[in-house]
Amino acid sequence: MKISNKIQFFSLLLAGLFWGCETDDVQKLENRNWTLTWSDEFEGEKDQAPDPTKWTYDLGTGQNGWGNNEYQTYTQRPENVGLDGDGYLVITALNQPFGGANFSSARIKTQGLFTQKYGRFEARIKSPYGPGIWPAFWMLGENINEVSWPQCGEIDIMELRGQAPSTMYGTLHGPGYSGGNAVSKNYSLTNARFDNDFYLYAVEWDENKIDFFVNNYLYGRITKEDVPGEWVYDQPFYMILNVAVGGNFVGFPTSQTPFPQQMVIDFVRVYQKSN
The residues of the shown chain that bind other proteins, judged by CB under 8 A, are 129-131, 133, 161-166, 189, 191-193, 195-196, 254, 256-258
Minimum Å gap between C-beta 195 and other proteins is 6
Which residue out of 70, 122, 142, 154 is catalytically annotated?
A: 154
| Alpha carbon distance 266, 120 (integer Å) | 17
Between 193 and 209, CB nearer to other proteins: 193
Between the alpha carbon of residue 36 and those of residues 44, 103, 121, the distances in Å are 21, 36, 10
Give strand pairing partners of 81: 91
Which residue out of 146, 159, 207, 225 is catalytically annotated?
A: 159
Q: Which residues contact 109 (CB under 8 A, 6 or more apart)?
A: 55, 56, 57, 58, 238, 239, 240, 241
Q: Does the annotation count 154 as an active-site position? A: yes
How remote is the C-alpha of 1 from its chain's centroid?
Answer: 22
First to last CA, the chain: 33
Q: Does the annotation count 159 as an active-site position? A: yes
Minimum Å gap between C-beta 194 and other proteins is 10
Minimum Å gap between C-beta 130 and other proteins is 5
Q: Which residues contact 250 (CB under 8 A, 6 or more apart)?
A: 132, 133, 134, 161, 162, 163, 244
Minimum Å gap between C-beta 196 and other proteins is 5
Phi/psi for 225 (5° steps) reads -75, -20
Minimum Å gap between C-beta 251 and other proteins is 11
Closest CA to 256 of 19, 33, 95: 95
Between 29 and 189, CB nearer to other proteins: 189
Catalytic residues: 154, 159
